[in-house]
Amino acid sequence: MSSSLGRGPLRRIGVLAAVLGLLAAPSAGAAWAGTGADGGRGAALPAGAPTRTAAGELAAVIDAAAPAGYADTYAGVSVDAGAGRVTVFATDTGRGRALVAAAERSAHSGGRVRVEVKAAKYSRRQLEAARTELEAAADGWRASGPQVSMVSFGAEGDGLRVAADDPARAAALNRARPVRQGAGAGVDPADVRFLAATPVPVVDRDNDGAPHWGGATITSSSAQCTTAFAMDVPGWDRYMVTAAHCGGAGTHFTSGSSDYGTVFNTLPSIDAGIIKTAGGSNSGVYIGTEGRAYANWVWSLMGEEVCQSGSVTRYRCGIFVTGDAQHWDNGIWVQGGIEACTRDGSTAVRHGDSGGPVFNWRADGKITSRGVISYMFSSGAAPGVYDCIGWSQTGHVLASWQASLVTS
């Protein structure tokens, strides 16, 4: 249960304030008329579509450079695209500024992006270690105690967030645990925030024919989900990715009246499964009522805006990355993901969106892949509204199968 993937996890149902599962939905068919075979048709970028800005590009360079020489102080980086500002959090702000200076030279940003360095109480390394320890403790509580469904942290380095069905009891048990002191000290129990979570079961776009696209509605005998993107696995074949919790190896899916394919392999540890499609698949992806094509993938950074196109929700932007999270599902801690929420408390995701694409737009109208929808939860801002979403990052999915994203 070690945090081997380094950046956080996430997965499907049985989780958090209503995490997981997701299914059910509308129809796409004729809406895609006029698009190219791979979803690309050079359409204009939608109004308000989020793209990665210069601030986001610099933040990505900072985040990638941090592990090499600043892992003991670096907590994270946050992006405010509207203000063109990047905030770096570090336990040693002097070394944080050194990291920024090195990244700016590498990125040749020329001072075009405003960068702030703020003090953090804990480094990302400390928080990852503390999360692993807390997850181990939570496993011991399951038989007769609170059920912990997610452990996450943000870029600020201020502690952990834990979702449990009995947050008060979980907090009491956590306070009773010994905390490492001295070098590599753990996280103070006072810096662990417990939130209420209620498990939600998996519930049960439409008619996607070959070659198959991401964003399609797929249905098995027991669940309805969505597909995310196609990838090529050297020595194997081309596969379409969905969430592992949608069905194990051998599960057969249809899309409306079309034969979609059968699950070939799954990795529950990152909540990802690959489908050998009937008739093949390509770079196309359903986005709202249009067909688009994937051009690349990137890691997600705190503060960035993303969109999702699950088969039920269809198309939703205005979702902002809030942290790095791992959640409990089907007996394991799911790794390799990100959590994000809407800022107005509105719905971010619905049942049936599981396995669907998380992405942002490029200036050329193509799509940058961010991940595969894994679970949902409520921040509590509006009772019963799932304003937060979790996804398994595309980079981790590709690396796990040594695969490449199908693009055009």
- Span 222-244, pLDDT tens digits: 899 999 999 999 999 999 999 99
- Given pLDDT bands bounded at 50, 70 and 90, which one contains residue 163? confident
What is the average pLDDT score of the chain? 83
Please tell me the predicted confidence (pLDDT) of residue 18: 34
Share of the chain above pLDDT 90, in %: 56
Please tell me the predicted confidence (pLDDT) of residue 198: 59
- Given pLDDT bands bounded at 50, 70 and 90, which one contains residue 9? very low
H/E run at residue 69: helix 54-69
Q: How far apart are CA 174 and CA 145, in angstroms?
A: 12
DSSP label of 237: -
Please tell me the predicted confidence (pLDDT) of residue 30: 27
On whether the CB atoms of residues 246 and 54 are closer than 8 A, the answer is no
- Give the strand pairing for 114-119 and 85-90: parallel
For residue 68, count other CB atoms closer than 10 A to its CB.
9
pTM of the model: 0.72
Coil/strand/helix, residue 145: coil
For residue 284, count other CB atoms closer than 10 A to its CB.
29
Q: How far apart are CA 226 and CA 207, in angstroms?
A: 12
Please tell me the predicted confidence (pLDDT) of residue 112: 77
- Span 120-152, pLDDT tens digits: 999 999 999 999 899 999 989 988 889 888 888
Q: How far apart are CA 267 and CA 284, in angstroms?
A: 24
Encoding tokens for residue 151? 């452990």
**Long-range Cβ contact pairs of 60-69 (< 8 A, separation 24 or more):** 60/298, 60/299, 60/301, 61/103, 61/106, 61/107, 62/86, 62/88, 62/99, 62/100, 62/103, 63/299, 63/301, 64/299, 65/99, 65/102, 65/103, 65/106, 66/99, 66/124, 67/6, 69/99
- Span 82-91, pLDDT tens digits: 888 999 999 9
First-to-last alpha carbon distance for the chain, in angstroms, is 37
- Given pLDDT bands bounded at 50, 70 and 90, which one contains residue 403? very high
